[in-house]
Structure 1
C-alpha cells in the first residue's frame, strides 16, 4: 500500500497537501513532510474560502481516480493544507488507480 494512504471503513483515506490559488488544477505526485509523513501533492485554482478549495480538491480527485464526486470527501484538515480525504469504493480498484496516478506524476 502506498505510504500516502491507509484503509478506511468503506474504501481508502488519502493524505493530501493542497495548494489553493494555483494556476491550474493538478495532482503533482508524492512528497514527504519534515517529520517523514508521505502525502500526495495537489493544486487547485479555487480560493481557500467557504470550502471552495476543498470542493475543488474533491472534484479533482474524483475525476483523476474515476469515481463519482459523491464518493470523495475531505474528512480531516478542512482548514489546513494537510488534509485527509476519504474515497469510498472497492479498495483494490482504488489502489490500482492511485498507484497509476502517483507513478505518472
Structure 2
C-alpha cells in the first residue's frame, strides 16, 4: 500500500522540523543543566548553543523546503554529529555531578 506521492516532501519537511524541535529541547536542557555549575559548565553551555545554532542554520532550508541542494546534502551528517555531541555533553555534565 502506497500513499500519495505528493505528500512525501511534506512528510519529510515535517520530520526535519521535529528533529530541529528535539534538538532545541535538548539544547535548552543542557544549558539549564550547565548554568548551575562553574565556568567550565558555562563554556559547555555556550558550545551547546553554538552547535544548536549551526545545526539550525544547516537544517532550516531542508525543514522549510527552500534553498539550494548543497545545503540539503550536508544537513543529515551535521545533525548526526550534533546529536552525538549533545549526547557527549550530557554525559560530561552528568558525570561532573551537575543536577
- TM-score normalized by the length of structure 2: 0.30
Structure with the greater alpha carbon radius of gyration: 2
More strand by share: 1
Structure with more helix by fraction: 2
TM-score, normalised relative to structure 1: 0.28
